[in-house]
Amino acid sequence: MSTPTLSAARISIIGAGPGGLTAARILQQRGIDVTVYDRDSGPRARNQGGSLDLHDDDGQVALREAGLIDQFFALARFEGQEMRILKPDGGIISHHVPEAGEAISPEIDRGQLRGLLLDSLIPGTIRWGHELVSVSGNDAGPRTLTFDDGRTEEADLVIGADGARSRVRAAVSAARPAYAGGTFLEAWFDEMDTEHPELVELVGGGSATASDGDRALFAQRNSGGRMRVYVIQRATADWIAEAGLQPDDTTGIRAHLTTQFASWSPALVRLITDNVGPYVDRPLFALPVPLTWQHSPNIALLGDAAHLMPPLGVGVNLAMLDAAELAVAIASASSLDEAVTAYESTMIPRSSEIAQMLDGGVEMLFDGRAWELGADDGPGDRDDEARPPRTTTSPEARPTRS
């Protein structure tokens, strides 16, 4: 392969989620040009989902590398680290109240995190309305990006930050996500303090969950007086249709859920009956474990494009750590091939270890182990997250600021 100098390399990132934007930010900080392509028509084209916690050993590491940690702390909700684990009858199993100054995993709304990263980029970095259809070419390069309107662009390095159904991944792997055996049904609540004070008392300032072995509820406070609740079920991916319902039949779905949770505390049942607007069904998917692919000097994958796992906490945090390590590797290497090789030598073993640990982990959502391990994220708009046991990323594997 005839590798261009880094100063002349055409680097394209597919996906303007937290991972893609983190990589773009750090590359630009290091003086490297990059273009981000995203299928959305603009930054406010869709709701970004609920809240997530950024861990001090991965997501926060990436933000420090990006020079954005102080801005993050200014937006973060430290009270969101509160976690209640409840019995189906409403009794408390455990209750974590964050100590003063605790910053292990403060919460931030996904939209706020995305806005923070977007605002940090050079204007014009992102090309909105570009839905990738395919990546063609070979290791000799360059790669050709084809978009849904027929437009094409060439790139010397394509970074796939395009989530669970990554079109970039398809250029190096035939792997496809498979249904993981569980679903998250999302319900929204507004004006919590004035309209739902009894639910504020139940959930507290952060998150609360309860499970009975077959189903679970997870409630998560968001900023602006909002809350999201996830009804977690062991069901088929088509459970709504199989129940004779339509996705927009809020009344019918609510009646079905009320029957399913009939033996639960009335206070907890209100988490699935008092929501505002329709429910949003989010079947859970995961990639094969372990997932590896033939190295390509002009393709790099990060986040869910590289290691989609059950919703037990690694989604955004691991994507951002991937992004930081990849960007630092590009800035530090003498060639793109060297950078991708160095990045994969750390990312693939780490993600494989975590994926193997979480393989079949959807069951943890039903028996309470997920919450005992510290899970407190719900799924995002496209990808699935919650939190696994602490990862053991060594200092040597983390990016360091120059």
Per-residue pLDDT tens digits for 321-340: 999 999 999 999 999 999 99
Phi first, then psi: give them for residue 150, nearest 5 degrees: 95, -10
Mean residue pLDDT of the chain comes to 88
Directed axis angle between helix 110-119 and helix 18-29, to 10°?
20
pLDDT the model gives residue 363: 75
Does the pLDDT value for residue 3 go beyond 60? Answer: no
pLDDT the model gives residue 45: 78
Say if 151 falls within a structural domain: yes
Among 142, 117, 121, 101, which residue's Cα sits nearest to residue 9? 142
pLDDT the model gives residue 396: 34
Q: What is the CATH number of the domain that holds 61?
A: 3.50.50.60
What does the pLDDT average to over 192-207?
95
Does the pLDDT value for residue 250 go beyond 50? Answer: yes
pTM (predicted TM-score): 0.89
Say if 324 falls within a structural domain: yes
Say if 230 falls within a structural domain: no
Phi first, then psi: give them for residue 47, nearest 5 degrees: -70, 135
What does the pLDDT average to over 56-68?
96
Calpha distance 202→187 (Å, rounded):
16
Calpha distance 275→277 (Å, rounded):
6
**Cis omega before residue 290 (within 30°)?**
yes
Phi first, then psi: give them for residue 176, nearest 5 degrees: -130, 145
Say if 213 falls within a structural domain: no
pLDDT the model gives residue 247: 94
Among 372, 267, 324, which residue's Cα sits nearest to residue 62? 324
Say if 215 falls within a structural domain: no
At residue 125, the 3 state secondary structure works out as coil
pLDDT the model gives residue 366: 76
Residues with Cβ within 8 Å of residue 239, at least 6 apart in sequence: 183, 233
Say if 343 falls within a structural domain: yes
Query: Edge-to-edge strand order for the sheet containing 152-155?
Result: 132-136, 143-147, 152-155
| Lowest model confidence (mean pLDDT) among 146-155, 156-165, 261-270, 354-363 | 354-363
Enclosing domain of residue 298: 11-78+107-177+287-362
Q: How many domains does the chain have?
A: 1
Say if 46 falls within a structural domain: yes
What does the pLDDT average to over 337-350?
97
Structure tokens at 272: 């699935």
Scored b (16 or more CB within 10 A) or e, 363-374 reads ebbbebebbebb
Phi first, then psi: give them for residue 190, nearest 5 degrees: -120, 165
Say if 335 falls within a structural domain: yes
pLDDT the model gives residue 365: 76
Does the pLDDT value for residue 11 go beyond 80? Answer: yes
What does the pLDDT average to over 165-175?
96
